[in-house]
Chain A
Amino acid sequence: MVVSDRILSSLLSRARGGRPRARPAAILQSFVLLFVGTAAGKPPDEPPVIGRPANFSGAIGSFTIAAHAAPTELQAEDPVTFTVTIAAVGKAAQRPPRRPDLAKAPAFAESFYIEGEPDNAPTDDGQKWRFHYRLKPKNADVKAVPSLAFVFYTPGVLPPSRGYQTIYTDAIPLHVRMRDQVSPAAVEGGRKPMPAPDSVLALAEGPDVLLRPQPPWQPAPFLLIVLAFVPPLFCGGWYLIWRRLHPNRATAVRRRHSQAGKRALKALRARNGSQNGAVAVAAVVTEYLRDRYGIPAAEPTPNEMARSLASGGVCEHVAAKVTTFFRSCDTARFAPLVTAPAEDWSAAATRLILTLEK
C-alpha cells in the first residue's frame, strides 16, 4: 500500500506539471519497493471497494468451480438437483465463499423456480464447499442450466482492484419435456357416469321463477331491546302483585301492627271530648295493645301489661309509661275526685301509641 502511494504521488506530481524529482536512484528504489514490498508485505484485510463487482462472493484466495445437475431429462416444473462445488487452490482460502444467490442471476431466475437447501457447510478441511439447489425449469423451452459466474478476490495483485477474478461453471444441457396433460379420465379413474336424475330434466315454472332478491330482514336494535326487557318487567310486576297479595309473615305482622295503630288513633280522635274519657281511652289502648302485642287478658292489670310488653320487646321505660298510663286510668276510674280532664286522656293515649309505634 505504501509503495502504491509513492508511485501514485509521483505520477500526480508529473501530471501537475511540477518539476520531476525522480532521479534514477529514486526510480530504482520505487521498483524495488514495488516488487519486494509486494512479496513481503501482508495481504489486505478487506478487498478494495473500487472495482468490486456486484456479484462478489466474499471469497478471498484462489478458487476453482464446478457444477453438476441431475437428472438432465425431465418434465417442465419437475425438480433437478444442481450442485455447485467451489474449491480453494494452493494455500487455504483466507475467506470462504458465500452461497451463490441464483435468484440474482437473471439467466437462472428467468428459466427456473429456485429452491435452496441450507447445507453450505464446508467440506474437505475447509478447502471445498458444495452448494445444492433444487431447480424447476419453468417450461419446455429451457435447454440448459446456464453457467454460473463466481467472483472472488485474490490478494497481492496490483493495482488491488485488479484482484477480483471471475470464473464460470460450464452450462449443463437439459432435455425438458412438456408436462403430460392430465385428462379427466386419468384422474377420475375411468368411472362409469351415473344416469341423470329426473330432477335434472325438470323445469321450474311459475311466477316465483322471476323474483328479485329481497334484502334479508334485520331486527331493529330498538325491537331487540324491547323484547329483552318485556319478559323481566312483566315477571317483576307479577311477583310484586303476588307479594302484595301474599305477604310474608314479617310483612303481615308489620301491616297488622300498623293497622292496629291506625284504628286506635282513629278511635281516640272519635272519642275526643266525651265525658267518660278515661275508661273509653283505656279500652281503646287495651284493644290496641291486644292487637299489637297479643296481650291475652280482656282487662289486664298494669303489671300484666308490663310483663306482656317486656316479652314483646318493648323497652323498659316505654313499658313503664304504659303501666303509669293504665294506673292513672284506674285511678280516674275508681277515684273520680282526682280525675284529669278528658282531652288529657286522649292526648296521653295518642302520645303513648305513637311512642310504641316508633
Chain B
Amino acid sequence: MSCYVFVIGALTAWFGPTDADMLVLGNLSFRDGLQRRDNTAEARPAFRQAAAYFDALVERGYRSRGLFQNQGNAHLLAGEPAPAIFAYRRGLRLANNDRTLRDGLTYAREQVAYPVTGSFARPPAEAWPAWIKFPSRLSLLLAAFGCYAALMLCATLWVIRRRAVAVAGLGVSLVLFLAFVGVFVRMASIDWEETHYPLVVIADDGVLFRTGNGPSYPLRSETPLNRGVEARLLAQRSDWLQIELGSGEVGWIPRTYALIDAS
C-alpha cells in the first residue's frame, strides 16, 4: 500500500495532481492508516496525510457529504478532533440526519475536554431534530401549496354543500399548511443563522476567552477553551474573533486559534 502511495504521489508530483488523483491519494493514505492502526505512531501520519488530501479538495471548492465524512474521519483518526468536528458539522449542513456523520461527530466530541461541571463551552442544542431529514425547499413548497389548495377546495365545498367532511378537511389542511409554512420558516432561519453567524471550532487547547479584542482585556471565564469547542462567529476585528459559545457566553479569542466555516 505504501508503495502504491509513493508511486502515485511521485506521478502526481511530476504531472500535477488532478482532483480525482487527490481523492485517490486521500483514500489510499486512509487505507494505509487503517492497516497500521495497531501502531498509533505509524497510523497517525498516514491519516494526517489523508486528511491533508481531503482538506485540499475542500479548498478546491468541493462540498459533499462523503467528502466531509472522509475529511472528518481522517482528522479524527489522526488525533485531531477539532478539524474533525469542523468537517462533520459542515457535512451535516448538507445532510442533517446522516447517521455516519452524526456518529463521527458524537465520537469526536467525546475527545474534547469540556469542563466537568456546568454547561460552559458545551456543544449547542440541535437546532433541528436529528431524526428528521431536512426537506428540500421544492418539496416543502409543493407540500404547502397542496395543503393550501386543499384548504381552498374544502372551504368551497363547505360553502356549497355544508358537509361536516368539508369542515374536517378544512381543519386538517389548515393545520398541515401552517405546519409546512412553519417548517419552511424554521429552515430559512437556520440557514440565515448559519450563513451570517458561521461555525467556529477552537483549534487549540487552553485558548483564553477574553472580554475584548486584545490580550489586555480581562478573561471572560477562568476556564480556557480547549480544541473542539464549538461556537458561532459574531464579529471579527483585526486578528480577533467575537464568538458565542454553545452555552451562550460571548467573548473574544485570537483568530489563529479558530477554524471558521467561510462557505
Contacts and interface: CB of A to CB of B under 8 A. Distances in A.
Interface of A: 77, 113, 115, 136, 138, 181-182, 184-185, 187-189, 193-194, 196-197, 199-206, 208-213, 216-219, 227-228, 230-232, 234-235, 238-239, 242
B160 interface: yes
B141 interface: yes
Given A182-B224, A209-B67, A216-B137, A187 B153 contact: no
Nearest to B263: A213
Nearest to A230: B149
B159 interface: yes
B23 A210 contact: yes
Nearest to B153: A235
B164 interface: no
Interface residues of B, number: 58
A197 B67 contact: no
Given A204-B67, A213-B263, 14 more contacts: A182-B223, A201-B77, A205-B66, A206-B66, A209-B64, A209-B67, A211-B63, A217-B136, A217-B137, A217-B138, A230-B149, A232-B152, A234-B152, A239-B160
Contact of B64 (A182, A210, A219): A210
Contacts of A217: 136-138
B73 A202 contact: yes
Nearest to A184: B113
Nearest 3 pairs of A and B residues by beta carbon: A204-B66, A184-B113, A231-B152
Contacts of B155: 235
Interface string B191-225: 10000000000000110000000011111000110
A187 B226 contact: yes
Interface in B86-131: 99-100, 103-104, 106-107, 110-111, 113-116
A136 B67 contact: no
Nearest to B66: A204
A203 to B, nearest CB: 6
A196 B11 CA distance: 34
Interface string B149-163: 101110110011000
B107 A200 contact: yes
A217 B136 CA distance: 9
15 contacts: A187-B114, A187-B223, A201-B77, A203-B30, A204-B65, A204-B66, A204-B67, A209-B23, A209-B62, A210-B20, A210-B23, A210-B57, A211-B63, A217-B138, A234-B149
A106 to B, nearest CB: 13
Contacts, number: 125
B156 A238 contact: yes
Contacts of B159: 239
Interface of B: 19-20, 23, 27, 30-31, 34, 57, 61-67, 69-70, 73, 76-77, 99-100, 103-104, 106-107, 110-111, 113-116, 136-138, 141, 145, 148-149, 151-153, 155-156, 159-160, 191, 205-206, 215-219, 223-224, 226, 263
A197 B84 CA distance: 14
B61 A212 contact: yes
Contact of B73 (A77, A194, A203, A205): A203
B137 A227 contact: no
Given A182-B206, A187-B226, A235 B156 contact: yes
A199 B64 contact: no
Given A210-B64, A217-B136, A217-B138, A200 B149 contact: no
Contacts of B65: 204, 208
Name which of B64, B104, B151, B223 has the most chain A CB atoms within 10 A of its CB. B64
A136 B219 CA distance: 10
Contacts of B113: 184-185, 187-188
B152 A210 contact: no
B206 A196 contact: no
A156 B141 CA distance: 87
Name which of A187, A205, A242 has the most chain B CB atoms within 10 A of its CB. A187
B128 to A, nearest CB: 16
Contacts of A203: 27, 30-31, 70, 73
B115 A187 contact: yes
